[in-house]
Amino acid sequence: MTVAPPPFYVGAVKHALPAGLLNRPFAVSEGNRLPSPLDRLDEKLRDARARRQAKERGRPNEGLGIGMRIAVELAAAIGVGTAIGVVLDRWWGTSPWLLIVFFLIGCVAAFLNVYRVAQEFEKERKVRKQADKDRHE
């Protein structure tokens, strides 16, 4: 859209501008005007909504992360218990008794780790739920 400068503006600044500048029409676009307070508020709201959507999109992957952590906890504890049992059996010649004992100890440790992870997840879920509840009130 092309707009000619208003006549009162031409007379007031004629001496400060190069000759012929005010005789040319100028374009009014989104970039030429100052943002109004409502435009700034709209921009802030759009940014806040985008951050919120990004945060909510990240939540389903959180379950995958917890599942992977639980799997690693199980495998690591059982693996370490079994390895200790095998090493001690070979060292003391008590095969397979220490392997069995330390395998069972590794299983107990693994399930305790899984229980601990589940408790942490539940605590974080309650905190998020309370924060969402407080934010909406």
Of 27-31, 41-45, 94-98, 128-132, the least confident: 27-31
Helix (H) or strand (E) holding 2: strand 2-3
Token pair listed for 50: 């985008």
Question: What pLDDT is attached to residue 17?
Answer: 56
**Residue 4 scores a pLDDT above 70:** no
The model's pTM is 0.54
Q: Locate tokens 């989104």: which residue?
A: 30
The residues, ordered by sequence, that sit 6+ positions from 104 with a Cβ below 8 Å of its Cβ are 81
Provide the residue ranges of all domains of the chain, joining segments of one domain with +.
Answer: 61-136
Q: In percent, how much of the chain has pLDDT > 90?
A: 38
90 has a pLDDT exceeding 80: yes
**Vertex 120: Cα angle to 117 and 122 (nearest 5):** 110
* pLDDT surpassing 90 at residue 28: no
